[in-house]
Structure 1
């Protein structure tokens, strides 16, 4: 709603965790209609008729971060959902910034962890954020290399070795075969899919591309 109210000639893109015929929560149906009416876009990977499930929200985050060159974490506790987006953006080689100053309390502990793990660049305020984004854009324009080969993503070998390009492997099969935590399994799948190494099929199944 804030993007609609503050728009100045641009169009909004909403990435949904749900199907287009089942806007979730239902109270946002009017907002979805307003976005389309003003020339915006509703984007989802869920086909019509699919009921929204909890995992779809985390899965949606990788599309959000993939569309944006920069992800900014304003405030996140240690187990905040924003950390999933930050991890997706980092794995997609996007810029990640986190608002962080010494003395911030537990409500910013997720931000502190991102900075400590070198997954995000700390920014003290909005002015520092704009400067960092501008510097990053200038660096990309002047120093980007062309025609580089895409290396196999680090830390994704376990899932890759489990999949094949002939018969789909389901989520349940992956979870039984791979010994890592569920969150790490999801991270590997997100990364491999975004880089084009695997394909996601209906029914939470996966194939090598």
Structure 2
């Protein structure tokens, strides 16, 4: 089926992504099999378009999309029969029928990881999102997110700044800028190599609250796994986490302090045992590398040197007796994590992981100004 046929199917009344996916699974012949399988009203609309397109309201929708596409060379309409269509979406029970795309379709070529998180990240969360996004793109991975405020936008900017690939799935048309403060990011995703905007809504569609949960299923559905950087206990990012698990994809979270409200959703996922703890990009690639072989050579997936969160110069490998240097450096006076890293020579990621474990064991606590060692009986 060609683009016009898929646009017509997508615009049929009373259907929707789930019903169309169920029909596609039956592999009806085009067009007679579709006409026989569709419910009455939808079949009538499709027949009218096939026999008298000039009288069909479907043709107006098709013409508007084709006119939009022809205005710029970086505009595309993706569907199951398009060569750039991401096959991972076909594993969803309700994949989008059509995706309007603006930007570089090359972003769809490599392995993809979704990165999501709170709209109000801490400075540590911002730093971690930037570092993971940068390291992922340097390893040939594409960062997928929703161009939302907070972690989404931070990760996508970092991916572009690193010269990597990133895909933003929007809850509006690809020509609409939402949130308005991300105008520059929207433009970069449209014109820079590796940037791509996707939406299942036609151009001109304004953002609506109901669109965003649907948008999230595409973010996670495009990806081999999802990384939650920071999330509160009622964060919308936990919807993405649930979708990831429902789609049989891998879920990763970054550790955070027990006293960090923005990390409590992540800690809850770890407590439930539904997510993997990720302290470096290598942790993620170790779990997903075998799936990524379909995109890039195995040597590039698992054979590169470890990349962790901004290690200080001349960082030494973390010793087996990690509690000693960290506890020795801490006292009753709060110490910020950057000074703790400098004093001990361990990486930020290793330091964060061990501090979390020590906090759970009652050895340390995070207070205003940094970390302290707790008195032991």
Residues 1:136 and 2:291 are matched in the alignment: no
Matches of 2:246 and 2:256 in 1, distance apart?
25
Question: Could you tell me how far 1:53 is from its partner in structure 2?
Answer: 0.8
Question: 1:203 matched to which residue of 2?
Answer: none
Matches of 1:34 and 1:100 in 2, distance apart?
31
Question: Could you tell me how far 1:101 is from its partner in structure 2?
Answer: 5.9
Residues 1:31 and 2:182 are matched in the alignment: no
Could you report, residue by residue, the CA deviation over 1:21-61 in whole angstroms, capped at 9, with x for unpaired residues? 32212332332222222233210011123221112222211
Query: How many equivalent residue pairs?
Result: 136
Question: 1:2 matched to which residue of 2?
Answer: 158
Mapping 1:1-209, distance limit 5 Å: 1-7=157-163, 10-39=164-193, 40-100=195-255, 103-123=258-278, 125-126=279-280, 130-138=281-289, 140=291
Which one has the largest radius of gyration?
Answer: 2
Could you report, residue by residue, the CA deviation over 1:44-86 in whole angstroms, capped at 9, with x for unpaired residues? 0111232211122222111111112121112111101211111
The 3 A distance-change label for structure 1 pair 46 and 104 is same
TM score, norm. by length of structure 1: 0.56
Question: Could you tell me how far 1:99 is from its partner in structure 2?
Answer: 1.8
Could you report, residue by residue, the CA deviation over 1:83-138 in whole angstroms, capped at 9, with x for unpaired residues? 11111111111111112367454332211221222321123x33xxx343232135
Contact 1:72 1:96 in 2 (8 A): yes
TM score, norm. by length of structure 2: 0.33
Matches of 1:121 and 1:104 in 2, distance apart?
21
